[in-house]
Structure 1
Amino acid sequence: MSKSSMRKGSLKRKKSSLRKRIEGAVPKVQLEDGESFGEGERLGSQGSLHEWFKEQDERLERGRGDEDNPTRRDLGRVVALKMTDRSLCDRDDRSKVSFVREVEVLKHISHPSIVSYIHAFSTPAYHILVLEHVPGGELFDLVSNQELHAQLDEPLLRRIFGELCRAVSWMHAVGLVHRDIKLENILLTRPVFSEYSPAPLVKLTDFGLSRFIDPASPLLTTRCGSESYAAPELVIGRPYDGRDTDAWACGIVLYVLTTRRLPFDAIPTETVQETMHHEGHASVAGGRVRGPRRDERAERKALLMRIAKGEYTWPASSDVSEPLHGTALAQSDGLRRVVGRLLVRDPRKRTRVAQLWDDEWFAGEGAPPAPTLPDSVMPDPVDDSDDPHEPGAWDDTLDEDDIYDVVEEDDVADGVLVDGDDIGPDSVARREH
């Protein structure tokens, strides 16, 4: 069959074809007999997709033949469309990698705090991913709005971060790593200060850099993700375990949720309000967006060096009354302890996300229950050994040439670490879809 006919066929997919399991980003984790995950947490989201179509069919059936029936007038459902320009995919294999990988991964998973896959199709102009609509906006919006953030208290913060950690813990248990956890990729299901509901408050999205790993051989080499959230092993180009780099990124998220600033970016405290920005767009007072500066490469190298060394500080303490709100949350000892367990330079000594529930801070008000994970997929205890001869042991010394190589070799657009290791002859980018 020619590529052109394959492409035409992909445009004529029927609803039933969505229920078929296809080759792609297939999980490699197998549970032992009798083990299971919590309710709503499962591999193979074809089941949830089937239920989605079944519900739609039942709504149609109820409304058929009765034009005045209110059910008949409410047959639709709001969804989110993620559209990728096909011409961009033709020019840049990374864009095609991202689209295809996100489709394949989301088809295989279902979790209450992960955005749900509904459908994917292509038009002559776009590749389109249909996802559930999550109406509350990005978590980034909460942090960038000073007035809103000032209302944030510790129980609500604990719930937001706890729900994120439950999702990430489950992903890691099934062998899935995200590799781009950041505020912009965490969505709120409703206004954050609305009336309490037991339904999930946050959902993780944007799985374009995610992939399943083999737990028996988990190390990856592709540098990817947003620099400000990148772990030391990423910025110096070492092989890494995506579960460890995701844990580091979760530590960055909690730090920023508390302080409204990124821990390794050189941003003076007094200018935080003006400099909170999305990746690639740094705003300044007056609303202007600054363009590239001559010293940008030097600034980037300095940022990566601070990350590689694990050098960050907390805002100075001050006298505040409890309960803590807004940036005063940075004075919570328990919160600082959790961040400190995640932002550990040596990945062997870094706490995995699923291990955070043994911390006292996660027993406080607002925290969701610990994730239900089978014993066979629970992470090993943190390695406390200091033997420099152990495989993968970290030396305190750091060669600046490692940082220089990253700065010189990687694309710097949008503050993202990327390379071409995933784009080989057999990569997902080469497959017709």
Structure 2
Amino acid sequence: MASLGRVSIGQYEILHTLGVGSFGKVKLAVHSLTGHRVAVKLVNRRRVNDQDLAGRVRREIRHLQRLRHPHIIKLYEVITTPTDIIMVMEYAGGELFDYISDKTRLSDAEARHFFQQIISALDYCHREKIVHRQVSMRSVLLLDDNNNIKIADFGLSNMLTDGEFLKTSCGSPNYAAPEVITGKLYAGPEVDVWSCGVILYVMLCGRLPFDDDNIPLLFRKITEGRYSLPSYVSSGARDLLKRMLVVDPLQRITIGEIWKHEWFQVDLPTYLLP
């Protein structure tokens, strides 16, 4: 259906393309009655004939329908057509990556503001037995109009059952935990903790802790836990990072312990508490 030269899907008028995701295009749209802006993810059915891709799409829909947290992207509705699966989602116009790039690096207070929101959202996911497994700076961590975090892209997330271990390698290599890279079995939450450590480092330092154009060398740095902390990083943040970026997942700080860390607790909003 067309409206003033624009395409409409259901009650939503499509404006323009925001980007191309792993399964298809993401477009900005507005509700024709309320003017409320949404992000519309168009997943072409022919492109997800592959069983693995189809599973990822179903997983993202299932998990987003289940999760309700102020810092996780909301899925409003799913529209199916003969050619597409259409996900109508909350619109968050910015990316944390771009925000940091504009500022070079963030102060402790600003980094902590974002980090508290990320940890609260992921802790909620873990309590719901969902591990994200793909937490990275680009496309996953979005910012709304009030500069609040919105975690997106649950296509690689997985459900946890008690006693189950995961082995699938997921996510961006720069953010991947050592046990993921080496193909070891892992319980799940500790992988998200490592990725959050990388994100906290990027916010405070303006660069990745583990980076190399040569992938084997990058993997070696990660599996050996080789990174340096600039002298300007505060003692509290330094202590937290050193506890998060621990190669042995059994020795790595847990999200429950992050909540109790002195640096993390400064100006912690009560609405974030589990």
**TM-score band (shorter)?**
0.7 to 0.9
Q: Distance in 2 between matches of 1:144 and 1:95?
A: 32
What amino acid does structure 1 have at the position aligned with 2:246?
Answer: V
Shift of 1:85: 2.7
Shift of 1:182: 0.9
Tell me the residue number matched to 1:202: 149
Q: Deviations over 1:158-214 (max 9, x none)?
A: 11100110111111112111000111211111254xxxxxxxx11111111112211
Counterpart of 1:360 (choices 262, 265, 273) is: 262
RCO comparison, higher one (Cα < 8 Å, 6+): 1
Q: Deviations over 1:106-152 (max 9, x none)?
A: 111211111111111233443221111123x111111222xx345x3
Tell me the residue number matched to 2:222: 307
Tell me the residue number matched to 2:70: 112
Counterpart of 2:167 (choices 207, 212, 221) is: 221
Q: Distance in 1 between matches of 2:97 and 2:185?
A: 30
8 A contact 1:228–1:265 mirrored in 2: yes
Q: Distance in 1 between matches of 2:205 and 2:104?
A: 10
What amino acid does structure 2 have at the position aligned with 1:306?
Answer: K
Q: What TM-score do you get using the length of structure 1 for normalisation?
A: 0.53
Q: Distance in 2 between matches of 1:154 and 1:80?
A: 31
1:228-239 mapped onto 2 (5 Å cutoff)? 228-239=174-185
Q: Distance in 2 between matches of 1:153 and 1:309?
A: 28
Tell me the residue number matched to 2:195: 249
Q: Distance in 2 between matches of 1:204 and 1:350?
A: 23
Q: Distance in 2 between matches of 1:174 and 1:86?
A: 29
Decide which structure has the larger Cα Rg and report it. Answer: 1
Shift of 1:342: 0.8
2:89 aligned counterpart, secondary structure: strand
Structure showing the higher strand proportion among its residues: 2
1:89 aligns with 2:44: no
1:183 aligns with 2:137: yes
Q: Deviations over 1:318-373 (max 9, x none)?
A: xxxxxxxxxxxx521111111111111110111112321221102324x3348544
8 A contact 1:165–1:354 mirrored in 2: no
8 A contact 1:81–1:130 mirrored in 2: yes
What amino acid does structure 2 have at the position aligned with 1:262?
Answer: L
Tell me the residue number matched to 1:80: 39
Q: Distance in 2 between matches of 1:360 and 1:142?
A: 26
Q: Quick one: percent identity of the two aligned structures?
A: 34
Q: Deviations over 1:6-46 (max 9, x none)?
A: xxxxxxx9xxxxxxxxxxxxxxxxxxxxxxxxxxxxxxxxx
8 A contact 2:204–2:233 mirrored in 1: no
Change (3 A) 1:79 1:310: same
1:141 aligned counterpart, secondary structure: helix
Q: Deviations over 1:353-410 (max 9, x none)?
A: 2321221102324x3348544xxxxxxxxxxxxxxxxxxxxxxxxxxxxxxxxxxxxx
Q: Which sits farther off after the overlay, 251-260 or 78-87?
A: 78-87
Change (3 A) 1:338 1:368: farther
What amino acid does structure 2 have at the position aligned with 1:353?
Answer: I
Q: Distance in 2 between matches of 1:368 and 1:218?
A: 33
Tell me the residue number matched to 1:276: none
Change (3 A) 1:182 1:208: same
Q: Distance in 2 between matches of 1:153 and 1:261?
A: 14
1:142 aligns with 2:99: yes
Counterpart of 1:153 (choices 81, 87, 107) is: 107
Tell me the residue number matched to 1:98: 56
Any unmatched runs of 5+ in structure 2?
A: 1-9, 11-30
Any unmatched runs of 5+ in structure 1?
A: 1-12, 14-55, 57-72, 193-200, 267-295, 318-329, 374-433
1:213-362 mapped onto 2 (5 Å cutoff)? 213-214=160-161, 216-266=162-212, 299-315=214-230, 317=231, 330-362=232-264
Q: What TM-score do you get using the length of structure 2 for normalisation?
A: 0.82
Q: Deviations over 1:404-426 (max 9, x none)?
A: xxxxxxxxxxxxxxxxxxxxxxx
Q: Distance in 1 between matches of 2:270 and 2:210?
A: 31
Change (3 A) 1:246 1:370: farther
Q: Distance in 2 between matches of 1:110 and 1:191?
A: 19
Q: Provide the aligned C-alpha RMSD in A.
A: 2.2
Shift of 1:302: 1.0
